[in-house]
Structure 1
């Protein structure tokens, strides 16, 4: 089976065409993406601008044509925090649907965390033991922990790299800005920590996002090449096998 996965993120809109079947390893066939940076198309009221929405709808329509030309028989289209947190989510989704025929599935933050956890669990296997996954996206930070394929706890925080960078008034940021931002991040993560540690100490901490790859020098952090897209593919295939 050939699938076309359309991933509408805060920074990039990405079509990945993969060959996959239940119980098998998803194999990428073709990649088509653009750095749309939706989060930078926000108005003062928190809406995605008309220009940003039109550009998104046009590129999604382009993705559909590319996926069909590559032989994809199923589309898995989804969106994350940029669409989820916008003030005009419904209007943007309607525009995308009218232009492309695609109904974007807007994932809740906790669902992002759970789905990415599934991908990491399949990648590392049961031998990894109790697992903690860390995903630093453009708009949000997802954390999930557990021993099985579904995490015991999943948390989503508004601490994405792009979101935090846009809150800084200076480039490079002034020391006071950096201190204030660091204090805020530590405070919000600390508030989520009791729920994560209550389920037990992780035996493996794994990161999956591009931002995490840039931090791969952190010795305590394993890097998982599978992420949210692969998790959605696996979940779709699991459903076919039932």
Structure 2
């Protein structure tokens, strides 16, 4: 057997051993972006891109952004970072509206698009390579550029919202005021009823006391009346007896 055959057999055996252990000779790099980003015409938007690599960030790291316009099948390169320097491609309309805000040592490959327009609608792809960690899948984010709300409409909308909030505040204040007046009236009525009940009790007590004082007087008058009546009857009987004696 030749030496070349022995070397190839060793490589096959090593690959089989790594596969059996669940290991890979090259670990994949992972790239992350948002799925969707929204902006308005004339504003700016940040396209965030972060990544994870099992290797130290080397000087050979590269970050590339591609753009595929909405409804188009072609993708163009709009940004490239390599050898520690950012490069904005001259192709397309982003060359004077793009800003590099990433930091590879912080595992950040973000860019900013200024002065957005409807032609910016589409899909942006971020791809990162960190040799020897070069195997991985890029990540995509879709940008939606919406119509900018005119200032006068914004003012009108703000006025409507402010008026609605003011109306809600007035209604709530009226509800609390009505409830306060009702509770105050109920409290006054309760105090009045309590005073009336108290007055009735006092008058009842006075009447009972008065009747208690008048009872002995009435009893005395009744006794006197009975005594006087008895004396009169006795006197009348005496007179009648005398008259009968005279007749005899």
Give TM-score, length-normalised by structure 1.
0.20
More helix by percentage: 2
TM-score (norm 2): 0.20
Larger Rg: 2
